[in-house]
Structure 1
Amino acid sequence: MEQVVIIQDKNEIEVVLQQSKQFGLVKISTYSYRNFKEEVHLGFLKGCIVLMKSRALSEFIPLIMRIRRITEVPIILLVDTYDSYEAAICIEAGADEYVKYPIHPRDLSARIKAVMRRCYNEKFEEDRETVLKLGDISIYLDREEIYRNKMRIELNGREYSILLYLIKKAGIIVTREELMEVISVFKNKRLIDIYIHGLRTKIEELPNFPKYIKTIKGKGYRFETVYIS
């Protein structure tokens, strides 16, 4: 059963939701800000989180960020005054919706259903794809897209081919000559070093101290298997 977790200082939102017949099969759990412990209450949550903003933004944003570190379930914020600047900050912190309250029960329930449907449809599509997890790097092989910490990385065709070949040979030293064949370059071995440098700049947190693509002096390169999962 899907669950709606409500965090509020006053018991308002639960009453509003219970007026909607759509929530007969959805469990509603309500917590005050004082009693809410995200590590305990969100561990296995599948559903939606509704927050009633009744505190200063400086207290509110850290809560959103802590929740987002634990779970990817959608977060809807209810605010008494709409502020576009504040909305942008909250969404950047990890919120999915920023909505003025009071709101009609039917409208609130529709928003909750919509964000849950969108979230879990996206998760289903992601699960159907072939995804390589390399530490903080995710490679979506079906669409040839690469993300680092959920931010997309733009690789050119040769960089992408070299990276996939290194991963395929993970733990094994790959020579420059092998990589030249991969990208159909047959004259200048130094081009491989240029492409490796470009790859490191894009995928490594510290390009000068790479953790993924290691240089094996006098032999070539090796992709570290410890980061493959």
Structure 2
Amino acid sequence: MLVVDDDPTVAEVVAGYLVRAGHQVQRAADGHTALVAAAAAPPDLVVLDLMLPGIDGLEVCRRLRATEYGAELPVVMLTAKGDEADRILGLELGADDYVTKPFSPRELTLRVQSVLRRARAAAAPATPPELVTAGDLVLDPQARRARRGGRELALTLREFDLLAFLLRNPGTAFGREELMQRVWGWDFGDLSTVTVHVRRLREKIEDDPAAPVLISTVWGVGYRFDPAPASDPTRWGADRP
């Protein structure tokens, strides 16, 4: 596990709590050092401060996501900023969760463990293999692959889990808090996390994300998935393992 924070006191406290929780921890005080450390020994998770000297946390997250080992690397961001735009930008770049300073080290540890559990469960093979389909959308949970109309979809870990849940529960409206708990197992967190992931999913599966028809907003409730009928059912083809 990699803890990235330029405040030595914060880094020491966070690392100490994580070590006591049973994790091996490496520390970095700036973005460049963090990227070098992650490339040399890819961590299971990164606790990443937003405000770093040189390369800031958002850019570090962006560069990590561009690497082969970092595409699904769990990231929990630390930020002293109260601006919602900064938090949403971090989520859009692929952060799995964030904690606003000042924070409780114990709460941060619980969040880290929650994110790790979800990541490890997602990486575990599904038994038996199954396909989840709705119209021309096809998901293979075991291979962690998704297609629409035969076109491969580039989904993050959280986006895949959300889409799989919605496909398994068509026509049912879910509130954002319920989605956080049932999809990702989070009993706490910012509800804007759900909003961001729904928006990103719409950009990848809707013909017109500005006028969504698959993932509808149910005012006063949350979101509902309404599958469209497929004119030509999707086949996985010969490349499916």
TM band (smaller chain): 0.5 to 0.7
1:104 aligned partner: 104
Partner of 1:198: none
Q: Which residue pairs with 1:81 in the alignment?
A: 81
Q: Which amino acid aligns with 2:6?
A: D
Corresponding position: 1:159 with 2:159 = no
Quick one: distance in 2 between partners of 1:74 and 1:21? 15
State how far apart, in whole Å, the 1-side matches of 2:126 and 2:91 are: 22
CA contact (8 A) 2:31 2:57 kept: no
> d(CA) in 2 for partners of 1:141 and 1:159?
22
Displacement of 1:155 in angstroms is 7.3
Greater shift after overlay, 138-147 or 30-39? Answer: 138-147
Q: Please give the per-residue CA displacement for 1:27-52, whole angstroms capped at 9, x wherever unaligned.
A: 11001215425365246535210111
Match of 2:7 in 1: 10
Does the CA-based 8 Å contact 2:2-2:45 persist in structure 1? yes
State TM-score, norm by structure 1: 0.55
Deviation at 1:75, TM superposition (A): 0.7
1: CA distance, partners of 2:22 / 2:107: 18
How far apart, in 1, do the equivalents of 2:141 and 2:95 lie? Answer: 28
Q: Please state whether the residue corresponding to 1:149 is helix, strand or coil.
A: coil
Query: Residue 154 of structure 2 aligns with which residue?
Result: 149
Distance 2:8 2:111 in 1: 20
Q: 1:5 deviation in Å?
A: 0.2
- Residue 67 of structure 1 is matched in structure 2 by 64
User: Is the 2:5–2:29 Cα contact (8 Å) retained in structure 1?
Assistant: yes
Q: How far off its partner does 1:125 sit? A: 5.0
CA distance in 2, matches of 1:91, 1:21: 23
2:27 is the alignment partner of 1:27? no
Distance change in 2, residues 1:66/1:13 (3 Å): same
Q: Percent identity?
A: 16
| AA aligned opposite 1:113 | Q
Secondary structure (helix, strand or coil) at the match of 2:90 reads helix
Distance 1:144 1:34 in 2: 31
TM-score (norm 2): 0.53
Q: 1:39 to 1:101 in 2, by over 3 A?
A: same
Task: Decide whether aligned partners of structure 1 residues 40 and 104 sit closer, same or farther in structure 2, where only a CA change above 3 A counts.
Answer: closer
- For residues 145-178 of structure 1, what are the alpha-carbon distances to aligned partners after superposition, in whole Å with 9 as ceiling and x for unaligned? 52511244777444225x34xx25xxxxxxxxxx
Q: 1:15 Cα deviation (Å)? A: 2.1
Of 120-129 and 92-101, more deviation after overlay is shown by 120-129
* Distance change (3 Å), C-alpha of 1:152 and 1:34: closer
SS across alignment from 2:30: coil
Q: 2: CA distance between counterparts of 1:47 and 1:54?
A: 22
AA aligned to 1:91 is L
In structure 2, what residue type is equivalent to 1:62?
Answer: E
